[in-house]
Every structure is written in structure tokens, then in C-alpha cells.
């Protein structure tokens, strides 16, 4: 008789890892996922649709609710797996999986424990990250590692590009680990938290550009929160402007001050930022050249 599995999943990582488990014949008895938020751009694949396609029962209520815990006890799963599920799972729920509860995290642990690890890695200018499968414990992203896979972050990558790479790495990790987990032969590597870091979640307001930072740091912020995320923003004459694409170049200028319009270049704490596409709050995204044609920017200053 095959091991019974309950999966908590959302987003592309959840979808693709579920696909891999199904490909390997996992006996998935129940899926917990989320309702899509009306305030969030839904650019990723639907776990609910995948569950419906395969006739697997699913719930969008919190797995920690008493009625859901009761249902888990009835199923008596050997494994509980979490793939980009957004709720912290309580220890009492984790204990209901007789062979273990495991999570797939979007970083190369112990680096970037916590929320939105891909965005933080890009914002901080990292050159690599990864995907890690680990046992869940009460503290987030702190249990023993089963397997992990690194991915490179190129200087031109956006967070979306890196998330795509991390998703593929996640599938690779699940693909080579699942049979060993079922057989009881998977390794367990203790996680050294002192060698890593923990990151908080991000809000749209965190995208405010500080022009006193270097051009490279501002560029990293822009590519870390550009489409499909809310974007990095600044203000011009009191109006919000979202900068979707830019590039750091050499040069000097007062932070926030426009120093050239063809191309559009703005001073920073170190170097210049060449803006390539942007958007006024009530308008549409346009090229910097089109923006310059519409708005007088001589000696203008972003703040």
C-alpha cells in the first residue's frame, strides 16, 4: 500500500511540484491551497485547477483550523508536504504526518529563510540562490535539509526570471528526493541557522527608491520588484512614478536630479541610473523617451 500524502501548495512552485509528485505516482489524498487575492496580480498557475483535473479533493481554508486537523487525523497521512503555502503550519498539525512534514523553500538554505526569498536575493544583489527541501519544525525554514539545488542569478535577471529558475530547481529536488523519502533512505542534514539570514515580507511601500543609494543598489531594487510585482517608485512634482526598467551607468550627479534626458539619466549616491521605462501612477507604462517628450525634465528632481 502506498504512502498517503497531504499537500499544501500554491503558486508555480506548488503547481510544478504537485505535477512531479503525480508523475511519480504519489497517493495524494488532499490538497490545501489559497483563494486568489483580488488585490494581487495572478500570473502563476492554479493549484486548484490542477487538483480538479486529477480529481483530488482540495480546500482553501487554513490547514490549522480544528475541522481540518480532524480531517487530517482521519486520513492519517505518512507525509505532509508544503510547496509555497502561505500559512505557517502549527506543530500539532506537523505531528500528524507519521513519516514527516516537509517544506520546499525558494532559497539555498540557510540563506534567505523567511518571506519572499527570491525578491530579497535579487534586491540584495546576490549572484546565486536555490531551492531547498527540508523538514518543518516550529521555527520557519529551520528543520533538517533533505536536498537542495543552486541556481545562478545573472545581473540582468529580474525576480521573475529568478523565480522561474528556482521553480525548475524545486522540481529537480522533488524529482530526485521523493523515492528516497518513501523508502526511508533520504539524508537529513542539520541546518546551521548561524550561517544564514532571515527576511521579512515585503509591502508595495517598500519599493520607494532612495536616490542616495548607489545606482547598482537602486537597479537591484527595480529588477527585484518589477513586473509582475508592484514595482519600485519615486515622486516627481508630488506625483508617484513607477520605474519598471533601468540600468546603472558611470557618472556623477546629485541624488535624484535629472542630469540628462537623451537618454534619461538620474544622479544617485554613486553613479547614474539610466531610466528605460516608467509609469505615472494614473497612466500607462511608457518608454523614457516618450516620457521626456511629454514632461519638461530640465533640472527636475525625483524624490
Report pLDDT digits (tens) over 67-103: 999 999 999 999 999 999 999 999 999 999 999 999 9
User: Per-residue pLDDT averaged across 100-122, rounded?
Assistant: 97
CB-based contacts of 194, cutoff 8 Å, min separation 6: none
CB-based contacts of 296, cutoff 8 Å, min separation 6: none
User: Per-residue pLDDT averaged across 148-176, rounded?
Assistant: 98
| 185 shares a domain with 95 | yes
| 192 shares a domain with 213 | no
Q: Which of 50-64, 120-134, 188-202 has the lowest mean pLDDT?
A: 188-202
CATH number for the domain harbouring residue 39:
3.40.50.170
* Residue 302: inside a domain: no
Q: Please state whether beta strands 128-135 and 100-105 pair in parallel, antiparallel, or not at all (unpaired).
A: antiparallel
Cis bond upstream, residue 105 (ω within 30): no
* Residue 85: inside a domain: yes
| 179 shares a domain with 71 | yes
Distances (CA, A) of 53 to 22, 47, 56, 269: 12, 10, 8, 53
DSSP assignment of the chain: -PPEEEEEE-HHHHHHHHHHHHHTT-EEEEEE--PPPTTS---S--HHHHHHHTT--EE-S-TTSHHHHHHHHHH--SEEEEES--SPPPHHHHTT-TTEEEEEESSSTTTTEES-HHHHHHHTT-SEEEEEEEE--SSTT-SPEEEEEEEE--TT--HHHHHHHHHHHHHHHHHHHHHHHHHT----B---GGGS-EE----GGGGB--TTSBHHHHHHHHHHH-TTS--EEEEETTEEEEEEEEEEES----TTBEEEETTEEEE-SBSEEEEEEEEETTS--EEHHHHHHHS--TT-BB-
The reported pLDDT for the residue numbered 6 is: 98
Task: Please give the Cα distance from 235 to 241 (Å, whole number).
Answer: 6
The reported pLDDT for the residue numbered 284 is: 96
Under 8 Å between Cβ of 86 and 13: no
The reported pLDDT for the residue numbered 1 is: 65
pLDDT, tens digit, for every residue of 245-256?
A: 999 999 999 999
| 237 shares a domain with 284 | yes
| 226 shares a domain with 157 | no
Is the confidence at residue 54, as pLDDT, over 90? Answer: yes
* Residue 301: inside a domain: no
* Residue 300: inside a domain: no
| 265 shares a domain with 147 | no
| 121 shares a domain with 26 | yes
Give the pLDDT band (50/70/90) at residue 164.
very high
CATH number for the domain harbouring residue 238:
3.10.25.10
Residue where one domain finishes, among candidates 149, 176, 199: 199
| 127 shares a domain with 156 | yes
The reported pLDDT for the residue numbered 299 is: 76
| 115 shares a domain with 258 | no
Task: Please give the Cα distance from 142 to 103 (Å, whole number).
Answer: 10
- Residue from 47, 43, 70 nearest 60 by CA: 47
| 135 shares a domain with 114 | yes
| 154 shares a domain with 264 | no
Joined together, the cell numbers standing for residue 91 give 506543530
| 214 shares a domain with 126 | no
Domain that holds residue 216: 205-294
How many domains are there within the chain? 2
Mean pLDDT, the chain, rounded, equals 96
Joined together, the cell numbers standing for residue 52 give 480538479
pLDDT over 90, % of the chain: 91
Residue where one domain finishes, among candidates 180, 199, 218: 199
* Residue 253: inside a domain: yes
Amino acid at each position: 500500500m502506498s504512502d498517503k500524502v497531504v499537500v499544501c501548495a500554491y503558486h508555480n512552485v506548488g503547481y510544478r511540484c504537485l505535477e512531479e509528485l503525480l508523475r511519480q505516482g504519489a497517493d495524494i489524498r488532499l490538497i490545501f491551497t489559497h483563494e486568489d487575492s483580488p488585490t494581487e496580480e495572478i500570473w502563476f498557475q492554479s493549484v486548484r485547477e490542477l487538483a480538479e483535473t486529477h480529481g483530488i479533493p482540495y480546500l482553501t481554508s487554513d490547514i490549522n483550523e480544528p475541522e481540518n486537523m480532524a480531517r487530517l487525523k482521519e486520513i492519517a497521512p505518512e507525509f505532509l508536504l508544503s510547496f509555497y503555502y502561505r500559512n505557517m503550519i502549527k506543530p500539532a498539525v506537523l505531528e500528524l504526518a507519521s513519516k514527516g512534514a516537509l517544506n520546499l523553500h525558494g532559497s539555498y538554505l540557510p540563506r534567505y529563510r523567511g518571506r519572499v526569498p527570491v525578491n530579497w536575493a535579487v534586491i540584495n544583489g546576490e549572484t546565486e540562490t536555490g531551492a531547498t527541501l527540508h523538514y518543518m519544525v516550529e521555527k520557519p525554514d529551520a528543520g533538517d535539509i533533505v536536498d537542495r539545488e543552486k541556481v545562478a542569478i545573472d545581473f540582468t535577471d529580474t525576480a521573475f526570471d529568478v523565480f522561474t529558475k528556482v521553480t525548475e530547481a524545486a522540481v529537480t529536488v522533488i524529482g530526485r528526493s521523493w523515492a528516497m523519502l518513501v523508502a526511508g533512505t533520504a539524508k537529513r542534514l542539520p541546518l546551521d541557522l548561524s550561517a544564514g539570514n532571515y527576511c521579512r515580507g515585503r509591502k508595495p511601500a517598500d519599493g520607494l527608491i532612495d536616490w542616495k543609494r548607489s545606482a547598482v543598489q537602486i537597479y537591484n531594487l527595480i529588477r527585484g520588484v518589477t513586473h509582475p510585482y508592484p514595482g519600485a517608485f519615486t515622486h516627481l512634482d508630488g506625483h508617484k512614478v513607477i520605474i519598471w526598467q533601468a540600468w546603472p551607468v558611470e557618472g556623477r550627479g546629485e541624488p535624484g536630479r535629472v542630469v540628462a534626458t537623451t537618454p534619461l539619466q538620474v544622479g544617485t549616491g554613486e553613479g547614474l541610473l539610466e531610466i528605460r521605462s516608467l509609469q505615472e501612477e494614473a497612466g500607462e507604462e511608457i518608454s523614457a523617451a516618450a516620457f521626456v517628450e511629454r514632461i519638461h525634465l530640465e533640472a527636475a528632481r525625483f524624490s
